[in-house]
Structure formats: C-alpha cells, structure tokens
Amino acid sequence: NAGVTQTPKFRILKIGQSMTLQCAQDMNHNYMYWYRQDPGMGLKLIYYSVGAGITDKGEVPNGYNVSRSTTEDFPLRLELAAPSQTSVYFCASSYVNTEAFFGQGTRLTVV
C-alpha cells in the first residue's frame, strides 16, 4: 500500500495563477481531509469529505475548492492564488474510528 500520496511536493505559483493539489489514498478510507499548516503553527482544516460525492467546509475554506468523485481521490483547487495561501498543505484520510493517515505534504509558495 502506498498510503496517502500527494503531488506535487513543492510548487511556486505567481499571484493570480491557479493550481490543483492532488491527493490519492489506497486504503479505502471513507474520510478525507485537507489541512494547511503555516510556519510554527497547527493544522487548519480547509475542507473534508465523509464519502464520495460529499464534501464540507472546514475552518478556512475561502480561496479553495474540492471535489470527491471517487473514494480514492480528493483534489484541492486553488483559484487566483494569493500570498496568504503560502503554506504547507497536508492531505489525510481515515476510517470513522481510526487515526488519520497523512501524506508527505505540499510546500506551496505564492509570489
């Protein structure tokens, strides 16, 4: 099992550009999450999903969009990138009653 795979690992965007962060898991988890982590800070929930076709906003959803068309994939879309979106992004997945399994993270810089 690969676990949770995030791509890319690093990316530099210019202000106003858009991009999609990819996340895939092969553990058949029904729950999936996107978090952002600013330097020295905790994880802030952006969006989450409890199953294919179901998504919900977390604490900091503005400027982001998600979709969940399959159990395995949960891409995060950034529209009109802003410097405030410079952060490390983590995707995670879990069953209802288990711990979350995290990807390696994507370091995004918006310049």
Partner 1 sequence: AQTVTQSQPEMSVQEAETVTLSCTYDTSESDYYLFWYKQPPSRQMILVIRQEAYKQQNATENRFSVNFQKAAKSFSLKISDSQLGDAAMYFCAYRSARRLNTNAGKSTFGDGTTLTVKP
Q: Which residues of this protein are in contact with partner 1, per CB under 8 A?
A: 31, 33, 35, 41-45, 48-50, 56, 58-59, 88, 90, 92, 94, 96-97, 99-100, 102, 104-105
Min separation Cβ 93 and partner 1, Å: 11
CB of 95 closer than 8 Å to CB of 30:
yes
Give φ, ψ of 16 to 5 degrees.
95, -15
Nearer CB in complex with partner 1: 18/64: 64
Nearer CB in complex with partner 1: 2/14: 2
Whole-angstrom CA distances from 42 to 10, 18, 89, 110 are: 20, 25, 12, 20
